[in-house]
Structure 1
Amino acid sequence: MTGHPIYFLWATPRSTSTAFEWMMRQRGDLICFHEPFGMAWYQGPEARAPRPAPSDRRRPEAMFEKIWHDIQQAAERRPVFVKDMPHHTDHLWNDAFLNRITHSFLIRDPAKVLASLHHSYLKAGMDDGFEAHEISFGPQEALFDLLRKRGEVPPVLDSDDLLEDPDTMVRTYCDAIGVPFIREALSWEPGARDDVLWYDGNDEIWHASLRDSDGLKPIPRKQVDSGDLPPNLAGYFETFMGHYSALHAHRLRPETVNG
């Protein structure tokens, strides 16, 4: 393998993944990419989304092959960290692609994902209609199973564990992927997050919590009752829970790495 490592965090929407990515950006030793294949999936000329971006928001440069080339070129200079969703890349899962990546996963209770999606769609003035594939629970499990069949068991970080004890879980994650833990990266100044805005003005709604935050700090674990979800979202819960539970069984705990 030539070049530096390429670390991928495979997430679902509304899984605290952008806050985690922001923390990785604070380290200063990684070139970071925010959902680069999502741009191609929604806005590129090869768009695969069920509802691609309208023509005035298309990006002709957002080609899957070019994006992958740019990531690999960046890794010639420094280690790379990429946060993306597995459904954006499931057509790329060949040996050359998978072998070049150090894989990890971030999962979240689907009741919390669905509740957060509903809240964000309401704030954005959008209807919360989507296809299950777009929320990536199924593709997460599919990619995890594929990697296991290839002899790799990538680390899985659960959002609840992360938020309850960021210091311990980020350290455990760093140990698992083989990078040094930098505690200072867990804090930052509140403000605009232009590096993670790539679709349209509604991104400010999706990332408002990150914009107003000043770091990853312990948050008491809370439960969301799936019975409180609106009917159009509640129907996804059981299916998503099956995918989530399959990965949750492999989640990182401090003793997983530190013995």
Structure 2
Amino acid sequence: MSEHPIYFLWATPRSTSTAFEWMMRQRGDLICFHEPFGMAWYQGPEARAPRPAPVDRQRPEATFEKIWNDIQDAAEKRPVFVKDMPHHTDHLWSDAFLDRITHSFLIRDPAKVLASLHRSYQKAGMEDGFEPHEISFGPQQDLFDTLKARGAAAPILDSDDMLEDPDGMVRVYCDAIGIPFISDALSWEPGARDDVLWYDGNDEIWHASLRDSDGLKPMPRKHVDPGDLPPNLSAHYDRFMKHYTVLYPQRLRPEMVTG
């Protein structure tokens, strides 16, 4: 049986990546996985997260090897699309692993990522607590640099560019990774998004906007002032921005849109 492509979108949290994934799910020609290595990283027996998962959320079957095997098995049937965070896999970046994947990246202004995290934590009644590594700006750049050094620079899509012109930028993205553009995939019916809830199942906190949306529609670019963030979050801004500003000039450009 022939092997089909395995497309990975490497994102940070709160980067509109799940909306992008939902669009890819509407295509109908891809087997899609939602942050599969995150399950191993947070909940599996080899968990690497800075905070252990509660006992009732631990997943003893979720080993990194099993998840990678499941993805490769799926690719024997159809092309596969995976949305995940680079920090979930940075210990797996062997030549064999990286070579099997068609890589791409979704980046977002750190001020907007941090503001979105703050809103989500407030809804959950949680402290704004995380390790910088698990927001994945550093691992994003590390992976991009690793691929580029190996002669396989991957396309980068910026969230603001995509939201400002979803039709045009998704066309550019599809062309960059070598798949057909399907315009109908940019629209969908509002509703529950159980396929992308694997940790606490709380759609209201993490995916309310996606649940209530009916597609990727053009949205005006908005500015978020990092100075308006709580001090414990704004303290991360400069560090994250150093990584973002390396990747941003190398992104797919709006002027690449044709037709």
Q: TM-score, normalised by structure 2?
A: 0.98
Question: Which residue number corresponds to residue 92 of structure 2?
Answer: 92
Report if aligned partners of 1:176, 1:257 keep a CA contact under 8 Å in 2.
no
| 2:231 match | 231
- Secondary structure of the residue aligned to 2:250 is coil
Distance 2:123 2:186 in 1: 28
What TM-score, normalized by structure 1, do the two folds share? 0.98
CA distance in 2, matches of 1:210, 1:134: 22
Inter-partner Cα distance in structure 2 for 1:255 and 1:13? 27
What SS class does the counterpart of residue 249 from structure 1 fall into? helix
Q: Partners in 2 of 1:123 and 1:80 — Cα distance?
A: 33
Taking the aligned partners of 2:110 and 2:254, their CA distance within structure 1 comes to: 23
Which residue is 2:240 aligned to?
Answer: 240
Aligned length: 259
1:12-51 mapped onto 2 (5 Å cutoff):
12-51=12-51
Percent identical residues: 82
1:205 equivalent in alignment to 2:205: yes
1:153 positional shift: 1.2
CA deviation map 1:61-110 (0-9, x unaligned): 11100000000000000000000000000000000000000000000000
Residue pair 2:85, 2:136 contacting (<8 A) in 1 also: yes
Contact 1:156–1:250 under 8 Å retained in 2: yes
Counterpart Cα distance in 1 of 2:2 and 2:95: 15
Gaps of 5+ in 1: none
| Aligned-pair Cα RMSD in Å | 1.4
- Structure 1 residues 38 and 106: alpha-carbon distance in aligned structure 2, compared to 1, 3 A threshold: same
Describe the SS at the equivalent of 2:24.
helix
Structure 2 residue runs of 5 or longer lacking an equivalent are none
Structure 2 letter corresponding to 1:117: L
Query: Which amino acid letter does the alignment assign opposite residue 11 of structure 1?
Result: A
How does 1:1-259 map onto structure 2 within 5 Å? 2-256=2-256
Q: Tell me if the contact between 1:166 and 1:218 (Cα under 8 Å) persists in the aligned partners.
A: yes
